[in-house]
Structure formats: C-alpha cells, structure tokens
Amino acid sequence: MTLKEKYHGKKLTTDEAAEAQNEINKAISELESINYQTGDDYILFKWGSLKGFRLNSEKGKALSNEYSLLGRSISAMCQKDTERQKELINFMIDECDGVLQSDWSGEHFTKKQAKEYLNKN
C-alpha cells in the first residue's frame, strides 16, 4: 500500500496525523537522498528552444557549433529556430549522455519527451 492510499482523504486524529506526517517526511528524505550519476552533457530547454547546452563528444560539439553558427538570440524567448536548427537540436538530443531538462519546471525529459517538447513548439 502506498502512502497516498494509506492516508489520502482520511480523517486522522492528532496523533495519527503526526505519525502520518512523520512517515511522509521520512519517505521524502529517503527519496531526496537518492544519488545517481549521468554523463557530463546537458541540454536545458526553454520557450521551445535551447536555453543552454554542453555536449562533450566530437559529434556533439560539431552539432552545437553548427547550431550556434546559424544564429542564436541571447534570449531563449526571442529565439526562432530554423528547420535546420530544430533538426540539429534533435541530433543533439540523440548525442546527449547527460540531463535533458526544462528550465521552467525543472522536469527531466527522456530523449523522446525532449523531442516532443521541441517539435510541438
């Protein structure tokens, strides 16, 4: 039984509420202590484009250099990617061995989700 199933919508006594909150806090603490590693690459998305990125492979560097040479606005909000730039970003996503993340929400994307985010904008 999950914590949500155990407590959601139930009326609890003062003692039960304290026990529930302690159990919830313990679960949060355990989740926050999870440590994992990814590669050093990252792509940060905002406004349907790139806010920032670092790709360390030779292929990744070549893709990001070509993207930048086609023109980048200093503001992700003002960036209007060309079809070629969108294509390059898709290749950059494939090449990324680290984190793909939304700058707005902090949400982490799978490669498929990152492409969907990019291509819907």
pLDDT digits (tens, 9 = 90+) for 30-83: 999 999 888 999 999 988 888 889 999 999 999 999 998 887 666 656 668 889
Helix (H) or strand (E) holding 45: strand 42-46
Helix (H) or strand (E) holding 46: strand 42-46
Question: Is residue 108, in this structure, part of any structural domain at all?
Answer: yes
Reported pTM: 0.74
The total of structural domains in the chain comes to 2
Whether residues 108 and 49 share a domain: the answer is yes
Expressed in percent and rounded to 5, the helix, strand and coil fractions of the chain are 50, 15, 35
Instruction: Give the per-residue pLDDT at 119.
Output: 83
Instruction: Give the per-residue pLDDT at 44.
Output: 94
Question: Is residue 37, in this structure, part of any structural domain at all?
Answer: no
Tokens of 102: 């939304």
Range of the domain at 92: 42-120
Instruction: Give the per-residue pLDDT at 57.
Output: 97
41 and 98 Cβ atoms separated by less than 8 Å = yes
User: Phi then psi for 2, rounded to 5 degrees?
Assistant: -75, 165
Residues in the chain: 121
Q: Name the CA radius of gyration of the chain, rounded.
A: 20
